[in-house]
Amino acid sequence: MHSFKSDEFKIRVLTKDDAEEYNALLRYAFQVTEADLAETGWKDDEIKQSKFPVLERADVLGCFNIIDKKEELVAQFAVYPLDMNIYGERYEVGFVTSVCTYPEYTGHGLMKKLMRKSLTRMRDSNKSFALLYPYSIPLYRGLGWEIISNKMTYVIKDRQIPTKLKEPGYVRRVQWDDEQFKKLHTHFAAKTHGCLYRNNLAWEEYFRWDEDDTMVAIYYNEDDEPCGYMVYLISSDVMHIKELIYLNREAQLGLWEYIHAHDSMIDEVRGNNYYSEPIAFELDDSDIKETIRPYAMGRIIDVAQFISQYNCDPDGPGGCFSFEIADELLPWNNGTFVIDFEKGHCALTDKNPQYHLSMSIGTFTTLLLGYKSAEKLLQMGKIQTTYDAVAKLDDILYHEIPYVSDYI
């Protein structure tokens, strides 16, 4: 293990000239072996080449140890620029990924420094929210992040697939690059809280590790309008559903009708569900296996900027609240914000607040994203206030768990 001092480290933006070191750190940290690459059909040179778009289009910070006047990459933190639907408003957000450090450099606060600098850069580029998939929930909670979404999985035997369906539309298989397929996701994102809008980089990542036999099927209504799709793979008598989205009930049932059409080819269906609503109740035979686990974590980067775009329930009563926010990582969030909610919108104000609440930035994030209600967070001891305050706030806020499916 190296002997070093903190001032021997340098943080800078990575470029494609750093691709080899970037790739090496990723492979070491996530233990990607040659056998793994062979199994997926990828070669090491192809992996390196695939990372060039990331380094060119994402904001990637690296922490370098200076040894004999030479830079050695020891930690990194990448951010994809994406847009996200938060209660009907299109937010610019940062999707954090490729967070890793060589083991001998852990425990020296390098990742915390990278995170603070990266979040500051996001704020400077008008991003008020960030999300990631945590490798350690306690670690990220300690840095102001909190759970905002769930991932559910299900296993359905062939005899349990819905059979009594007869929708008026039809299903057609299309290529991965089909424009209607991509436009359909954009339409879905525009009406779905928490959904990310996929840019070219996100679409590249979406299919990067999929097998060649992965299929895309679109459901069209009687007017030939695409209303839903599923991405799936059939392997060893199992249909694996990567994603199934729909704009209406007809498309949902039509896609399940299409799944049933494969019953002679498969023994079971295994799928992912990001709606945070179990599907068992939908089935005639509900005795299926479903699991649920926390998925994405989020973080409000700049409270004032986030609030300026935030929508609440226009049918809610309105009210003025004082939020005392604790944020040890980002000083501009660490303080008191008085927010006036009225007619579906909110704004910072100098009015005298009717209610006072205290909480961490992580709790504030999961509250405004809709993952937990104010009343539930009060019961858990995450919010310090009165019952009247949380009851009023819950009448004002929307309550819908974000749909987050993209893994980048």
235-293 pLDDT tens trace: 999 999 999 999 999 999 999 999 999 999 999 999 999 998 899 998 989 999 999 99
Q: How confident is the model at residue 57 (pLDDT cuts 50, 70, 90)?
A: confident
Q: Do domains 152-294 and 303-396 have the same CATH topology?
A: no
Model confidence at 5: pLDDT above 60: no
β-pairing verdict for 215-220 and 170-174: antiparallel
Cα–Cα distance, 45 to 20 (Å, whole number): 10
Comparing 41-55, 113-127, 159-173, 339-353, which segment has the lowest mean pLDDT?
41-55
Q: Each residue of 117-144: pLDDT tens digit?
A: 999 999 999 999 999 999 899 999 999 9
Model confidence at 2: pLDDT above 60: no
Looking at domain 6-127, does it have CATH number 3.40.630.30?
A: yes
User: Taking residues 48-52, what's their average pLDDT?
Assistant: 44
User: Taking residues 371-382, what's their average pLDDT?
Assistant: 98
Comparing 49-53, 204-208, 314-318, 366-370, which segment has the lowest mean pLDDT?
49-53
Q: Each residue of 147-173: pLDDT tens digit?
A: 999 999 999 999 999 887 788 999 999
What per-residue confidence (pLDDT) applies to 61?
94
Q: Are 201 and 80 in contact (CB under 8 A)?
A: yes
What per-residue confidence (pLDDT) applies to 202?
87
* CATH class label, 152-294: alpha beta
What are the sequence ranges of the domains in the chain? 6-127, 152-294, 303-396
Homologous superfamily, domain 303-396: SCP2 sterol-binding domain (3.30.1050.10)
More confident residue, 45 or 374: 374
User: Taking residues 51-79, what's their average pLDDT?
Assistant: 83
Comparing 49-58, 92-101, 126-135, 207-216, which segment has the lowest mean pLDDT?
49-58
On average, the pLDDT of the chain sits at 90
% of the chain with per-residue pLDDT over 70? 91
Cα–Cα distance, 174 to 171 (Å, whole number): 10
